[in-house]
Every structure is written in C-alpha cells, then in structure tokens.
Amino acid sequence: MNRKNMKYWALPLVCLVMLQSCFKEDEEYWDESATIRLENAIQDYRSVLVNSEYGWVMDFYPDQTFTEGGYVYTMKFEEDGNVAVGYELAAPTDTRTSMYSIEGGEGPVLTFDTYNEYMHHFANPSQQNYEGRGGDYEFVLQRRNDAGDYIKTLGRKSKNHMPMYKLTMPASDYYAAVDAAEAMVDNPNMIVKVGDGMLPLEKESGVKAFVTEDEMVYPFVYTDQGIRFREGVGVGGVKDSVFVFSSNHDQLVGVNCPDVTIMGDNFGFYLQYAGQLGYMYSFTNYPSSELQAAYDNMVQQCSVAYPNHPINKVGFSFDTSLNTYVLLVQSGTRSLLYGIGLTINRDNNTFTISKLETSLNNDNCNRYMEAGVAAIEDLANALYGEYAYSTPSTLNYNEIDIQKGGIALNCQKVSIN
C-alpha cells in the first residue's frame, strides 16, 4: 500500500474514533444531567407539598370508566415523611396518617408507602371485587405552575389525570363548603347553555357524573365554590371545566369562559324524579282558612278512626305505581294517596292542581275514607287551582314557595318514609 492510499484509509478511522468519543461524552453528560434534573424535581415537589399551610386537595377518579364521577381527597404533607389524608366519604375532621415518599420513576412519583385506610380505599380488594376498584396510590408528578398552587398528576395504574390544588382553608372547612355545594346542585337534570345553544345533562342520585343524550360521560367533583369537571363541557366548541355559583346562586358560571352557564331543568321533571326516589313536598303552613279548616277536619277524623296513627305529613308527590301525582297524607307508618291532576307551565313558573276524571286512589286511602276519614277529599278540593311557584335557585328544588291567589304556601322536600 502506498503512502497516499494509507492516508485516505486512516482518515475515516480517526473520524470514527473521534465520533465514538463524542457519543460517549454526550451520553455521560446527558445521563448525569437527567439524574440531577430528576433529583432537583423531587426536592422541588417535596418542598412545594410540605410548605402548604393547609395542605392539598386532589380531584380523585378511581377508575377508567368515570361513571361514578370523582371524589375529593385532602392531604397534609409533613417534612418527616408523614401525610394526613382525608376524603369526602369520611367525617370532615377525620384523617388517617401514613408514610409517603417521592422517588424517581417515569419522573417524580408520589407514593403512599404504608397502608392508609382512606388513600387505599379504592384499591382495596373485596369479596365482590378481588382486584379492588382500580384506585391509585402512586402518582406521577408531571408538572406544576410557577405559583406553586397547582400540580398535574397522573395515576400510575389508571393513567387518569388527577390535579392537585393548594388549599386556602382548613380541610374541614373545605369539606363543609363541598357539602353545601352538593346540596345546592341537587337536580337530576341540568342544562348547559352557551347563547341560544343548549346541552341537556342528567345524572343519577349520588353519582358525580353527568351523561348526555348521546351517552357522553362528564365526571366531576364538587368544590368549595361549585363544581369542577374532569374535562371541558359546553356547546359548539365553547367549553369550560370549572364552574362557580353566580352571585344569587341561581346558576353555575364558567370561570374561564363566563358565556358557558349551567342551570337546573324544569320543576316538573324534578318533582317526578323526587317521587321515584321516595320524596314528597310537605306543606309547612296552611295560610287560608279553607285549607286550615280542611286540614284540621282531616286530623280530627283520623284521630277518631285511627287513634294510634296520627297524621304527621301532608303534601304532594308523584307515585310511580299509580303513574300520577297524588295528594299524600302520612298517618303514622301508613301513606294515604289521593290521586290529583297536576300540570306544570315552566314558561311562567306556574302549576295547576285539578281533579282527576277517574279515581286513582289506593286501597289504604279507600279504607280510611270508608272508616270516616273523608276529609282528604275536602282537602283536595281546597287545593284545586293554579299556583305560582318559585325556588331559592334553579339549581335546587329542595324547598319551594307557592302562591294561590296571593296566599303563600311553603313546601319542603322530605322523605316519604
């Protein structure tokens, strides 16, 4: 081989050696840098979690179907590795303390190392579900905001996003506010509005997830100021995920997009739904002389015919077995159902109580009437007519005020049994 060819042959070999050297140096640099970055992130998250006066609240979603909605968890982290955990299924002041750590994994991973009754509630196996309900107790800490009051986490098992927010009040106060919010949003049917566009939503009692007509599921959690959805809800691409009560608590308003609002559906639907769940609207006063006289007469007749069954509630409801509205009288453990007609005009917030063309009264009611307690019919006659109704909020129908001819009659939602 001549010297010239040797030069050309040696040149690639030198470059290859140099290139290998560069790769090795780069690998060492990036490996070291990644390790340092991960350790710095772990220390940063630990500092942020510990240095919150009241701790943190997490929107916890226990499974991947989201059909039961979310749950509120609170956590108070200590420097010594202890964490006090509370959740909405327990009393507001109750917590369970266990150990936590933040270690490296897919990034910084927050782990509840030792058993915690509350934190592991949805992961515990049971006789009905040997694998548990899919709940997480390890969370990848993905990012936080500059203010240090929000952390985006990912459940390591479920892959559900479960955001954490810095508490600005004691956890017990937060739970009290959450309970108040849940009481306000006591409506099975809601409507999302954006301008003239509407999206009907409905939910089952006790479930924190709304479902649309095309079976889209929108899980949410209650907050101290309203509700927070797992993802945006809206109409025509205009959406929001965080909603707070309006100043007069008659609707929920989007925080980031106030054009998106949520309000309750019509009173008629809610009245039927309440009846299906075993509730009635009980009269709390009898302002007119005609109503008071009819009520007093019925009480007197009942006390004579059935002295061991005093009347304790009178009102109206929807009875599913009769498939009609009823005037309902509770006498001890017995319910007297007297069928009535009830039509609702949601355009002007009125409803009319009228006499049914055919009798739809149950055997219990007939027995009472045969025994001389005929005053239930007199009470029904006194109630016939048109009423204007109003509620404290279109989000809540627990209490309604009705007026007939300018005379107010307050009604309270109570359990039938």
211, 102: one domain: no
Quick one: pLDDT at residue 16? 41
Whether 178 maps to a domain, the answer reads no
- Computed on alpha carbons and rounded to an integer, the radius of gyration of the chain in Å comes to 31
Please check the confidence at residue 28 and state whether its pLDDT lies above 50: no
Query: pLDDT-based confidence at 361, cuts 50/70/90?
Result: low
236, 283: one domain: no
- The predicted-structure confidence for 110-130, as pLDDT tens digits, reads as follows 999 999 999 999 987 665 665
Q: Which residues pair with 103 in a beta bridge?
A: 109
97, 200: one domain: no
399, 286: one domain: yes
278, 410: one domain: yes
Of the three residues 203, 234, 265, the one that is the final residue of a domain is: 265
273, 310: one domain: yes
Q: The domain spanning residue 95 has which CATH number?
A: 2.40.128
Mean pLDDT of the 284-307 span: 81
Nearest to 314 by CA among 383, 388, 267, 360: 383
356, 382: one domain: yes
Mean pLDDT of the 18-22 span: 41
Residue ranges of the alpha helices (H) in 352-398? 363-370, 375-383
Poorest-confidence range of 137-151, 198-212, 368-382, 387-401? 368-382
Query: pLDDT-based confidence at 261, cuts 50/70/90?
Result: very high
292, 260: one domain: no
Query: pLDDT-based confidence at 25, cuts 50/70/90?
Result: very low
Quick one: pLDDT at residue 244? 95
Quick one: pLDDT at residue 11? 42
Quick one: pLDDT at residue 18? 41
Residue 224 in tokens: 């101290």
Beta-strand pair 279-283/311-319: antiparallel
pLDDT cut 70: percent of the chain above it: 83
Helices 363-370, 375-383: axis angle to 10 degrees equals 110
At 49 the three-state DSSP class reads helix
Distance, in Å, from the CA atom of 161 to the CA atom of 136, rounded to the nearest integer, reads: 11
Distance, in Å, from the CA atom of 109 to the CA atom of 155, rounded to the nearest integer, reads: 10
Whether 25 maps to a domain, the answer reads no
Beta-strand pair 56-60/252-254: unpaired
Whether 175 maps to a domain, the answer reads no
Quick one: pLDDT at residue 5? 46
Whether 256 maps to a domain, the answer reads yes
Please check the confidence at residue 89 and state whether its pLDDT lies above 50: yes
211, 286: one domain: no
235, 145: one domain: no
Residues 6+ apart with CB under 8 A from 320: 275, 276
Query: pLDDT-based confidence at 13, cuts 50/70/90?
Result: very low
286, 315: one domain: yes
Residue 66 main-chain phi, psi, to 5 deg: 65, 10
Quick one: pLDDT at residue 133? 65
Q: Find out whether 57 and 165 touch, Cβ atoms under 8 Å.
A: yes
Whether 72 maps to a domain, the answer reads yes
Quick one: pLDDT at residue 142? 96
Of the three residues 169, 195, 224, the one that is the final residue of a domain is: 169
Average pLDDT score, the chain:
82
133, 230: one domain: no
Quick one: pLDDT at residue 164? 98
* Count: domains in the chain: 3
At 343 the three-state DSSP class reads strand
Distance, in Å, from the CA atom of 111 to the CA atom of 113, rounded to the nearest integer, reads: 6
Query: pLDDT-based confidence at 362, cuts 50/70/90?
Result: low
Poorest-confidence range of 16-25, 340-349, 369-378, 396-405? 16-25
Of the three residues 214, 249, 265, the one that is the final residue of a domain is: 265
- The predicted-structure confidence for 213-240, as pLDDT tens digits, reads as follows 888 999 999 999 999 999 999 999 999 9
Task: For residue 345, give its domain range.
Answer: 269-415
Whether 369 maps to a domain, the answer reads yes
Q: Which residues pair with 404 in a beta bridge?
A: 407
Whether 133 maps to a domain, the answer reads yes
Whether 310 maps to a domain, the answer reads yes
